[in-house]
Amino acid sequence: MAKYAADTTVSSERSRAEIETTLRRYKADAFGYLTERDTAVVMFRMAGRHIKFILPMPDPDDREFTHTPSRGDLRTAAAAEAAWEQACRQRWRALALVIKAKLEAVAAGITTVEDEFLAHTVLPDGSTVGEWAKPQLAIAYSSAQMPKSLLISGPATHDTGGGG
């Protein structure tokens, strides 16, 4: 399957600015981002909720950037950097699309801010609902039982309500 915006020429910086502009248009009242070598984070506050998207960034040392896709030849440093930068631009465009689509769905009355951004809503301990819920969901499916109570403790909760 082809990746969205795989050939985009829109810079990562322009995509970040577009995300901020989109969020401001839809009444976000705070915005920030940070980048590291392997991760970017976009954070904002909307409808009284703190929301955080973690964007995994490609590793510039991965073979997909250091070698050509067709014959596997070693790329020049400049060509490897260009391929890596293209992958970064693609990811930022995809994130801009996701955020804009979610906000358009909210604006159209299809869904709510809470429902659209639930997995990315920040909890008091700094984790997101998605980070907390994934292990809970895995336990519920593996045990075929609902957790006894939600949010009593953090992600390490393994009480499946089995009563034992």
pLDDT in tens, 18-48: 999 999 999 999 999 999 989 999 999 999 9
**Can you tell me the mean pLDDT for 36-62?**
97
Angle at which helix 77-107 crosses helix 12-25, to 10 degrees, equals 10
78-82, 100-104, 130-134, 145-149: the lowest-pLDDT one:
145-149
Residue 2 lies in a domain: no
This prediction has a pTM of: 0.85
Could you give the CA distance from residue 103 to residue 44 in angstroms, rounded to a whole number? 13
> Domain total for the chain?
2
Residues 50, 32 share a domain: yes
Residues 35, 116 share a domain: yes
pLDDT at 162 over 60: no
